[in-house]
Structure 1
Amino acid sequence: MLIHEMTEDECRTALNQMDFGRLACVRGDQPYIVPVHFSYDGRHLYGITTLGQKIEWMRSNPLVCLEIDERTTPDQWVSIVVFGRYEELPDTPEHQRVRSHALEVLQSRTMWWEPACVPTERRERRPPIFYRISIEEVTGRRATPDAIAAALLSAEKSPWVGGG
């Protein structure tokens, strides 16, 4: 396996194809990480959720990190890390334009509304909270099979090997 550093453009292109990651935030000295669905518009990541620990922590410290990965095989994968700043998009006149854009971007993903609308076992239904992450830095790595691994992988898929 060979591991390659991705350029910023490669990372952003990959983000266009992904919609699930792990959001990390910090309060005090305690990190907290949760799985999230997101949509990407080329500059920001958008999400929808309800009030809970994640929102409370991001309100107290808006610096966040999102890790997104996709694994095809053990030696073929992509991992992207986004460093950014949380911004809540309240339902107010001054946020209406950006909130409408967020809704448009989110609707490009199937079941986009689910994180904020599916009832939970122990909580009453809460109003949705729209937010975005302004991307400040993005880094990534991708792994590809080396020549020997690629040849072995190709041989495993060949109809001529072990076909008897």
Structure 2
Amino acid sequence: MLGTLTASQIDALLQSHAFGRIGYQIDGRIYIIPVTYLFDGTSILAHSREGEKIRALRNQQEVCFQIDEIADQRNWQSVLVWGLYEEISDPQERYYVLDRLIRKIYKLDVHQAADKPMELDVRPEQLLDEEVKHIVYRIRILEKSGRFQQQA
């Protein structure tokens, strides 16, 4: 059966993943890049170092974001998000986003390797070091869409 995901199914899928792909444009060329992210119910939150992607997003704020869960070619779910790129400049908000992001990624790693110690290797304050410019940003969601296929 091929179908459309409900709004709550879309939100649940976005909430349950930490890795997605952001699509943006530079000089008429489309780029699709993997990113780690958080979903807070209204936005996709992520970070990146200063570079070509950030320069492109500053120039063209309209972006697309995608995640999927694929068991096989007949059993999958996919979500597309369209939204606007915004940098987060408030230090407290940046710290909060980075802390949550690191903890989410670490939690996923712990499930994959149960022998890891229960402490974070990277602290948010390290990512806020001005020597290495980390950009914390959100994609303010304007529209979401999801599809699935499920066969026994």
Is the TM value for this pair above 0.5? yes
Deviations 1:82-103 (A, max 9, x none): 001111113xxxx235324423
Whether 1:22 aligns to 2:21 is: yes
Higher alpha-carbon Rg: 1
TM-score by structure 2 length? 0.77
**Aligned equivalent of 2:78:** 79
Q: Is the partner of 1:140 in helix, strand or coil?
A: strand
Counterparts of 1:80 and 1:133, CA distance in 2: 15
1:138 and 2:113 are equivalent in the alignment: no
Question: TM-score of the superposition, structure 1-length normalised?
Answer: 0.72
Number of paired residues? 133
- Same amino acid, percent of matched pairs: 30
How much does 1:9 deviate? 2.0
Q: Which residue of 2 aligns with 1:55?
A: 54
- Structure 1 distance, partners of 2:69, 2:46, is 19
> Could you tell me which of 98, 101, 106 is aligned with 2:101?
106
1:42-68 per-position Cα deviation (integer Å, ceiling 9, x unaligned)? 111111110111101000011100111
Structure 1 residue 77: Cα displacement: 0.6
Superposition misfits of 4+ residues, deviation over 4 angstroms: none
**Cα-Cα RMSD:** 2.4
- What do the CA deviations read for 1:102-141 (whole angstroms, capped 9, x no partner)? 234323312496xxx8xxxxxxx73211111111111000
Gap regions ≥5 residues in structure 1: 118-124, 151-164
Specify which of 92, 96, 108 is matched with residue 91 of structure 2: 96
Cα offsets for 1:62-83 (capped at 9, x unmatched) = 1100111111122111100000
List alignment gaps of at least 5 residues for structure 2. 108-121
